[in-house]
Structure 1
Amino acid sequence: MGNTEKKLKEAIEALNEESYQISFDVFKPLAEQGNAKAQFHLGFLYRIGQVVEQDYQQAYHWYLLSAEQGYAVAQYKIGLMHYKGQVVDKNYQKAFKWYSLAAEQGDPKAQFNLGVLYRRAQGVTQDHEKALTWFLAAGEQGYAIAQFTLGGIYENGQGVPQDYQKAFNWYSLAGEQGHIDAQHNLGWMYYHGEGIPQNFQKAFKWYSLAAEQGDLK
């Protein structure tokens, strides 16, 4: 590991421990020297307003420099800012561009959000097949929201043959990670015996887990 990588590793550890000044003192000079990872993390500090005053414009500036160097998480963040219209005008085409770049590098959040754009025809022609492809890519990486979404797609037969077993499998993966709606849906499937043997004990388990998180359904 080179000296720069060692410094970055220690700075990220400091960031995770909320030692923001230590991390800032490492990220800022490295970011100014053009290090993409440092640029991203400096942007993050501006976004959350630690050590420096919260400044979304500066966050966008540093994220963009990082993204233009191909740093996937920064590309995702730039896409998200264009999608939400944070600092920049809302622009689904630009969101699509940046999500695509990050998704191709394997970023699960970008993959899921790219699927959403294809599903909603935002910035791109509607394409349920491509939406499913990206939801699967994110779900297979363990991204709970994508797993829950896949459960709904298979349960309701949205652009795919209805398949309760696949729905159950995806809901289970999301539910085990604490996704409240997936937990509720698992309870419902067990209670009604939808695609799986009816089991009131397991229905109670999943309904209870969802209720503990505030599910009022």
Structure 2
Amino acid sequence: MKNKTLLIIGVFYVNFAFAQNADELNSQSKELLTKRDYEKALPILRKSAELGNAEAQYNLGYFLQNGVGIAKNENEAFEWYKISSQNGFNDGHYSMMMAYGTGIGTEISSEKAFEYALKCANNNDATCMWNVVNCYKQGLGITKDTNKMLEWATKLSLLENPENLNLSGNITSTRLSLAYMYRDADDVEKDYYKSYIWFLIYNEFKKDFSITQQNQIIEEIKTAESKITKKQLNSAKVDAEKIFGRKLTNSENLNKADF
């Protein structure tokens, strides 16, 4: 029994040592990559990937896909993305979504693309959530499902706006899309009050849009106000904050553009 215990401890130690080395090698490779020293970085990166570091597996896939510092090989890139995704790395999920969506290193499959988009979306990735919303809305890779579309659109809309302009734009665009959907009865029952509430939530970060677009939407908001009762107009901000989960801080700028 003592020898068996020692053996188990020994195996655990070796596995821990490999994991530690993989992480250390990944850190070393990233330091070298920031200096664009691909000749030294890529062998270290590959070793880290082979030892199981999920970030290194994704990074190796990226360099193979784009042929940066290494011969371009989209098929091998796909395999490393797949392994990275299997190890739970979100960028691995994202790359598998893109691979199946565009046929990079594999066949095009909208069903597989959606499968990985959903994995990525479950990590609150705004781009993947945006894709999941559109898949459920249009029936791409999955059966069209208005309830699921609204569920994911709401989740995306309630995220904090990040500094990344593209990601922030996806969030703000979804808020505006919900306002239009309820206004125009697009896959949902027409509801001017819900539409107005989403206009108020969109307004929080409307600077993601151009001044021209903002001014056009301001006119649409004025029209929306004319479609609801005075009582609804007075309660809209409170109800919007309940949905939003936090205070609206830009209400005073509802009728003017943000820079």
Does TM-score exceed 0.5, indicating one fold? yes
Q: In the TM superposition, what are the counterparts of 1:161-200 in structure 2 within 5 Å?
A: 161-162=191-192, 163-170=195-202, 172-173=204-205, 175-176=206-207, 178-180=208-210, 183-191=211-219, 194=222, 195=224
Q: Is the Cα–Cα contact under 8 Å of residues 156 and 174 in structure 2 kept in the other structure?
A: no
Per the alignment, residue 80 of structure 1 pairs with 98
Identity %: 19
Q: Is the Cα–Cα contact under 8 Å of residues 135 and 142 in structure 2 kept in the other structure?
A: yes
Letter in 2 for 1:166: W
What is the root-mean-square deviation of aligned Cα atoms in Å? 3.1
Paired residues, what number?
200
Per-residue deviation at 1:168? 4.4
Mark the structure with the bigger radius of gyration.
2
Per the alignment, residue 211 of structure 1 pairs with none
| Cα distance, 1:19–1:123 mapped onto 2, change above 3 Å | same
| Cα distance, 1:141–1:46 mapped onto 2, change above 3 Å | farther
Per the alignment, residue 132 of structure 1 pairs with 150
Per-residue deviation at 1:151? 0.8
Per the alignment, residue 148 of structure 1 pairs with 173
Q: Is the Cα–Cα contact under 8 Å of residues 55 and 89 in structure 2 kept in the other structure?
A: yes
With normalisation by structure 1, the TM-score equals 0.75
Letter in 2 for 1:151: L
Distance 1:171 1:49 in 2: 42
| Cα distance, 1:86–1:3 mapped onto 2, change above 3 Å | closer
Letter in 1 for 2:175: L
Letter in 2 for 1:188: Q
Between 2-11 and 108-117, report the one with greater CA deviation: 2-11
Per-residue deviation at 1:53? 2.6
Per-residue deviation at 1:106? 2.9
| Cα distance, 1:156–1:115 mapped onto 2, change above 3 Å | closer
Per-residue deviation at 1:41? 0.8
With normalisation by structure 2, the TM-score equals 0.64
Distance 1:192 1:151 in 2: 11
The gaps in structure 2 that reach 5 residues or longer are: 1-19, 162-166, 226-250
Q: Is the Cα–Cα contact under 8 Å of residues 73 and 107 in structure 1 kept in the other structure?
A: no
Distance 1:185 1:164 in 2: 17
Per-residue deviation at 1:150? 2.6
Q: Is the Cα–Cα contact under 8 Å of residues 63 and 70 in structure 2 kept in the other structure?
A: yes
